[in-house]
Structures are given as C-alpha cells and as structure tokens.
Structure 1
Amino acid sequence: MIETRPVRGRAEDLAFHALPARLSGAGWAPRLRWEERRLFAPATNGFLATHDVARFLAWRDGGAVGRIAACVPHDPAAPATFGFLALEEDPAVLRGLLAAARGFAAAGGREALIGPLSFTINHEVGAQAGFFDRPPMLRMPGTPRWLPAALDAAGLHAVKDVLACTVDLATEHHRARFARLAAARATDMARLSIRGLRRADYAAEVRLVAALFDDAWADNWGAVPLGPAEVETLATLLRPLLWRGEVFIAAWDGMPVGLLSLVPNIDAALPRDGRLLPFGWARLLPALAGRIPAGADQARIPMLGITRAFRRHPASALAMGALLDAGFGLAARRGWRRIEISWILEDNAPMRNAMARLPAPVTGRWRLWSMPAASPAQG
C-alpha cells in the first residue's frame, strides 16, 4: 500500500533529498543535496517569502519510493507548479504524489498546476522527452524515459516543449562570419560595447542582470519576473559559477541592451550520491574552476537575450552576434569545446533560426504538463 504525506522532521527531510541519488540507476539524475536543501530553507532562499511550498514523500513498507514538491505563489497571476519529482516506476506512486500536489494547490485557491518546474520557469524546467543519452548538464533535469508516458496516462496535458541546442566550436561558423560583419559595420561597432560582470560591484551587477533578464524574457510563454528576494538567491547561486564563467553585457551608446551568461558544466563532476562530504568537494571544486573531467568538456549558456525595445533596432543582430562571439571566445580559452544553449522554447522561431545558423542542432528536449487541482476536500 502506498501512503503519501508531507515531509516532517529531519529524517524525512534527509530522505527527500537523498531519493534522486538512490534512484539514479533508474534514470533520475542525482542532485547536489547541500544546494537543494538550501532551496527549501527560508534563511537561504528568499523566494520562499513570497511562495507557499510543500514537500511530499510517498512511502511503501516504511521506505520512501517517491517525492514531489508543490509551489503556490502569493501573486495570484503567477501559476502554481509541481516539481522536484523522483519516484520508482509505479503508477500508484505517481498518482499519490500528483494528488498531494493537487490538494495543496487547491487549498491555496488554485485551479491548475504546471510542471515539472522546480520551482518556476526561471529554475529547472520539464521532464526529458527524448535525447536520453545526453550527458548531464548544469540545472537541466535528467529524468527517466518512462516519465512522459506516465504523466500522460495520469491525465495530465502536455502544454509546451523546450529545447537545448549545442554548438561545437570546432565546426561553428559564427565567429568568422561575425568578424566580417563587424568589419563591414565599423561605425555601428563603435557604438556597441561588450563587457563582463564587474565583480567589485557584484550586487548592483546582479540586479542589472535580473532587470535585463526580466525585460528580454517578458514576452515568452510562462514568463515570471524575478522578485527581489529571488535576485538575492540568484546572486548566491551564480557567484561560484563565475570563478571561470562569465556574464557578458551588451550596451548601445552606453545603455545595456542584452546579456549572455556562460558557466562551466559542473554536473559532469557531480558526485553520483549528490554528497559534498567526505569526498564530493574533491570532484566539484576543480569543475567550478573550469577543469571539467576528460570527455565532458562542455559549458552552458543559460541566458542569451536582447531587451524588447532594442529588438526593433537595426543593430540588434549585431549585439546578439557580439555576445555570442564573446561567449565562444571565452569558451575556447577555457578549453570548453561544446557549448549548450538552453533552454529555448520550441516555437521560438527567431531563436531556432539563430541556432541553425551557428550551427547548433537540437540536443535535448523537455516537456511541461498542466493538470487541474483537486478541490480541498479531495486533496
């Protein structure tokens, strides 16, 4: 018999965060337990001040066999979500977990949830829907082959796919093409500047990055602005990735108009059990410094965008090209030969066309579903 109940006490907290590693042989990617626990702690994640979050575990014969989290924003315009899934391949376990999330959302006055999202579309997105042999990538979920069909069978409705595209620096055409374009448009290039993040003014720079992100992504499906507390959490999560990574900011006549972030793929070095102690640091610290294990020489571009007003400017393509040129140049200097650009909405035709020109073929796909919330009585 399956029992699903809220996480209570330290032992169940530990069981919740240990489950992905325990199920890693069944297709679930391990998580960095220390970082994940901080996401559920109000003292280290200000996001929780404006969102109600509940965690649930499914139990069978005294052992945890599944987990889920549900998130209800205080802002009624923002969607309720479910995520942090990990479970054995058992329809009864999945039904119990989804019912728990639905009941929590319904009790919060919501009629539907979107997921998997951990916690929002600004964080980890979706369940894998193909490309299951891809290597692990920083904050891109790794989930089993059976999960999409199981979510369909549970009555959820697929609503959106997002993609990853990967460019191989040995075969990309962009830098040579951009050099010719920049030479032909020298006057415009004199008005365009690309710079890295100013570490000496880190807090203000992260606020600028968040403002550019909110503007550039505002028209995207499911966009949710970053709240002030969430920006502080972003600053904390981003700092170690910038030891060897970078955020590039494009400015036109001194006004910021776009950004690109490039970070090392530390997931290639993540301990399989998700633990930092006693030996996990020995693998993770070199990856944070940019020394990715042999055969996993990849990095990720999680942010690439131009502000909405500047997209109509004749030099917007020049700014996008210059950002990619700077990102690819840094990757080459770091020895990162393959760069994943993720994620991209499947129906974002301008970005898909830009990826085709690099070329950066599709190398990953994730899917999001919607499900109605139960009534509080049902929950």
Structure 2
Amino acid sequence: MKNIIRVSTKKELAAFIDFPHELYANDTNYVPELFIAQRDLLSPGKHPFHEHSEIQLFLAYEEDKIVGRIAAINNTNHNKLYNTKEGFFGFFDAVNDHEVVSLLMDAVKDWLSTKGFNKILGPVNLSTNETCGLLIEGFDGPPVAMMPYNAAYYLQRLEQLGFVKNVDLRAYRYTTGNYSERSVKLLDKIEERLQRNDIVIRKINMKNFNADKEAIREVYNKAWDKNLGFVPMTDKEFDYTAKDLKLILDPDFCILAEQKGKIVGFALAIPDINQIQIKIKRGRLFPTGLIKLLTGKKKIDGIRILLLGVIDGYRKMGIEACLYGNIIKSFSAKKMKYAEASWTLEHNDMINRPIEDIGGVLYRKYRILEKAI
C-alpha cells in the first residue's frame, strides 16, 4: 500500500532531507547535501525565501518505508514579476516506480490547483537562484558544487506523466591543457581596448567586501533580468547567499568589470566543495564532517564558474570573454585539474560562445520540464 503524507514535523523534515542518502546508497557519484544547510533552506524563519513565498513538502510511503519525496512551491515573486499562474516542484527524488512518481506529482498538482495555478514547472529548488534542473546527459561522475544530481530514469518517469521540455541548461568543462591558450592570450588585447573606454577588469576587494557586494547585487539583479524564470533576489536573500559564499571565496576567482567606479559585470567561481562533501556521511558535520571540511579545502583541485553577468549596454564589448578568461588564467596558474562553467541557457549564445571559444566542452545537460494543470 502506497500513500502520501504532508511533512509537518521536525522528524518528518529530517526524513525528507535524509531520503536521498538511502535512495543513492550504492551510487558512487552521489554527493550528500549538508543536513544543516538543507534544513535551513526548507524552514520558514530560517531562509528569507519563505518571507514572500511558500512551500509544502510531501513524502511517499510504501507500508512504513519512504519511497519518494517532493516539494510544491508557490513562488509569489515569480508570478508577480511575470504575471503568470505557475507553480513549481522541487526536491524531487523517488524510486523507479511509476505509481510512486504519479502519487507525488498528484500531490503537487492538487496543492497548486487550490491556489489557482495552471502550470507546473521544475525541478527547481526553491527558485532559479538555487539549484535547478533535471540531469539528462552526463551521468559519468559526481556533480560539482551547487549542481543537482539524479538517477537517469527520472526523465522517462516524468515524461510518462505528460511533462515536456521547457528549456535545457548547459554545463561546460575545462580540463588542464584542453582550454585555448591562444584565446586566453587574446584577452590582453581586448582588455586594452576596454581600458580605452575606462573599463577595467579587477578582482574583488576583500577589504572592501561589503561595498563590492552591494555593487554585485545590482549587477546580478539586472544582468539576468531577461533569463528564463529569473526572479531578482531580495536584499535578505542576496545577503544570505553572499554570507555562505564568502566562507569559501577565493578573490582570484571573483572578477569584476568596472567603469569609473561603477560595476558593470562580474564573474564568480567557487571551489568544488563537493570533493569534500562526497566524503561526509549523510551530510552531517558532526562528529567528523566538520574536520573533513576544514582540512580538505586546501586540497580541492576543481572549481565551478557559478555566475557571470554583464548589464545591458555593456554587452558584446568583450567583457564576458575577459571575465571568463581571467578565471581560466587563475585556474591555470593554480594548477587546478578542472573547471565547470554552469549553468547556461541553451540559447544564450552571448555567454555560450565565449565559453566555447576559450575551450569549454559541453559535457552535461539539465532540463526544466513543464506540464499544464
């Protein structure tokens, strides 16, 4: 007998967070999320997303065993911005069973229907400012930092329920020796041309972090304004994210484009912390996880190029290529083994072309799905 329950207690929330550990117990590519981070992300009063929107978590049981989980998400800011009636699903994991997946999606559909929504999109955890997308190509290794992972059968199960492609997201990979040295060297000439327009490329100033952070916030919320489903972060959401990222930030991998004191673009790469998290059992920092985290940071030899944005009016000037190129230069100087640039929209040639020109190889794809209610 299979049934669905609404998560309403701390014990059920812990079970919701822990279910993927059981599901992927024999999958060597699975990286457990940190329990404390997931708990805060999903808890009203902890993460600022819940100040303007709402979620409902569900667990699927077969007898007394958990066989699936999912979140129904009402992103109020998304629907206000786009004047839509779209709901989302996220934090989706399930055994390879059509009935289980169907029950989970029915629970989401019913919850969203009561709020007047006419479409379901996902997976999105909680918005496009967090992890999103269903892995559909590239199951040959662990995900990098802050990227999702799922079993290969997920796509088929969701398509069986009538979900169709909304858009694909891309991940590119650089490895030592496979990026274009020639393209990187050409960046010096592009930077010289930019300087004639009073645009300089520089690293973030950690001594003036708060001022640079505020400038980056403005660029972030402007540069992605036309991307699919993007919703600007609230001030509290941005501060929450910046506080977390600062803990692992390397200024060599946070590059800004500035014109006469105004930040017009930036790129950010972070260490692939998943190299450590994959060794932290069930995502628990205690008793040994914290030690692994602290002692393992210096051994990380990969990065994820997490963000790159240039505001309107400064695009197609070569700034995007210079931002990427400076990160790849640091990647090379630090003798790192790989860099992933992710994610980008499949049709965003303005970003994808510079990545490919410098030697990025498309190696993973993720998909946002949709279905009418």
| Paired position in structure 1 for 2:336 | 336
Q: Secondary structure at 1:207's aligned position in 2?
A: helix
- Residues 1:186 and 2:192 are matched in the alignment: yes
Q: CA deviation at 1:119?
A: 0.8
Distance change >3 Å, CA 264–CA 142, structure 1 → 2: same
| Paired position in structure 2 for 1:264 | 271
Does structure 2 conserve the Cα–Cα contact (< 8 Å) formed by 1:244 and 1:264?
no
| Residue range with higher mean Cα deviation, 21-30 or 126-135 | 21-30
Query: Matched residues in 2 for 1:29 and 1:184: separation?
Result: 39
Does structure 1 conserve the Cα–Cα contact (< 8 Å) formed by 2:191 and 2:201?
no
| Paired position in structure 2 for 1:377 | none
Query: Matched residues in 1 for 2:98 and 2:356: separation?
Result: 39
Does structure 2 conserve the Cα–Cα contact (< 8 Å) formed by 1:163 and 1:344?
yes
Q: Secondary structure at 1:350's aligned position in 2?
A: helix
Query: Matched residues in 1 for 2:4 and 2:135: separation?
Result: 25
| Paired position in structure 1 for 2:291 | 282
- Residues 1:49 and 2:51 are matched in the alignment: yes
1:273 to 245, 259, 282: 282
Distance change >3 Å, CA 363–CA 303, structure 1 → 2: same
Q: Structure 1 unaligned segments of length 5 or more: list them.
A: 374-379
CA RMSD of superposed structures (Å): 2.1
| Paired position in structure 1 for 2:183 | 177
Does structure 1 conserve the Cα–Cα contact (< 8 Å) formed by 2:57 and 2:72?
yes
Counterpart residue type for residue 205 of structure 1: D
1:198 to 181, 198, 205: 205
After superposition, the C-alpha distances for 1:163-184 in whole angstroms (9 at most, x for unaligned) are 100112423225x434345347
Task: State TM-score, norm by structure 1.
Answer: 0.89
Q: CA deviation at 1:59?
A: 1.1
| Paired position in structure 1 for 2:102 | 95
Does structure 1 conserve the Cα–Cα contact (< 8 Å) formed by 2:325 and 2:358?
no
| Paired position in structure 1 for 2:19 | 19
| Paired position in structure 2 for 1:347 | 347
Query: Matched residues in 2 for 1:26 and 1:91: separation?
Result: 21
| Residue range with higher mean Cα deviation, 334-343 or 12-21 | 334-343
Q: CA deviation at 1:206?
A: 2.7
After superposition, the C-alpha distances for 1:279-328 in whole angstroms (9 at most, x for unaligned) are 112222234x3422xxxx3210010121111115xxx21x2232123212
Number of residues of Structure 1 aligned to a counterpart in Structure 2? 363
Give % identity: 24
Query: Matched residues in 2 for 1:365 and 1:272: separation?
Result: 27
1:39 to 21, 38, 41: 41
- Residues 1:237 and 2:244 are matched in the alignment: yes
Distance change >3 Å, CA 58–CA 203, structure 1 → 2: farther
Does structure 1 conserve the Cα–Cα contact (< 8 Å) formed by 2:174 and 2:359?
yes
Query: Matched residues in 1 for 2:192 and 2:212: separation?
Result: 28
The 5 Å alignment of 1:79-228 reads 79-174=86-181, 176-183=182-189, 186=192, 188-189=194-195, 191-228=198-235
Does structure 2 conserve the Cα–Cα contact (< 8 Å) formed by 1:82 and 1:101?
yes
Query: Matched residues in 2 for 1:135 and 1:354: separation?
Result: 25
Distance change >3 Å, CA 351–CA 187, structure 1 → 2: closer
Q: CA deviation at 1:186?
A: 3.3
Distance change >3 Å, CA 349–CA 81, structure 1 → 2: same
After superposition, the C-alpha distances for 1:52-102 in whole angstroms (9 at most, x for unaligned) are 111111111112111111110223335421101111111111111111111
Does structure 1 conserve the Cα–Cα contact (< 8 Å) formed by 2:75 and 2:127?
no
Q: CA deviation at 1:29?
A: 4.3
Query: Matched residues in 1 for 2:359 and 2:164: separation?
Result: 32
Query: Matched residues in 2 for 1:265 and 1:245: separation?
Result: 15
Q: Secondary structure at 1:64's aligned position in 2?
A: strand
Distance change >3 Å, CA 236–CA 113, structure 1 → 2: farther
Query: Matched residues in 1 for 2:334 and 2:227: separation?
Result: 32
Query: Matched residues in 1 for 2:37 and 2:191: separation?
Result: 45
Counterpart residue type for residue 252 of structure 1: Q
- Residues 1:248 and 2:255 are matched in the alignment: yes
Query: Matched residues in 2 for 1:244 and 1:20: separation?
Result: 34
- Residues 1:291 and 2:299 are matched in the alignment: yes
Query: Matched residues in 2 for 1:311 and 1:8: separation?
Result: 47
Query: Matched residues in 1 for 2:58 and 2:303: separation?
Result: 33
Does structure 1 conserve the Cα–Cα contact (< 8 Å) formed by 2:324 and 2:355?
no
| Paired position in structure 1 for 2:7 | 7
Query: Matched residues in 2 for 1:57 and 1:185: separation?
Result: 53
After superposition, the C-alpha distances for 1:89-146 in whole angstroms (9 at most, x for unaligned) are 1111111111111122122221112100001112111111011113321111110010
Q: Secondary structure at 2:179's aligned position in 1?
A: coil
Counterpart residue type for residue 338 of structure 2: R
Query: Matched residues in 2 for 1:135 and 1:55: separation?
Result: 26
| Paired position in structure 2 for 1:60 | 62
| Paired position in structure 2 for 1:302 | 306
Q: CA deviation at 1:43?
A: 3.2
Q: Structure 2 unaligned segments of length 5 or more: list them.
A: none
Distance change >3 Å, CA 26–CA 77, structure 1 → 2: farther
Query: Matched residues in 1 for 2:190 and 2:164: separation?
Result: 49
Q: Secondary structure at 1:241's aligned position in 2?
A: coil
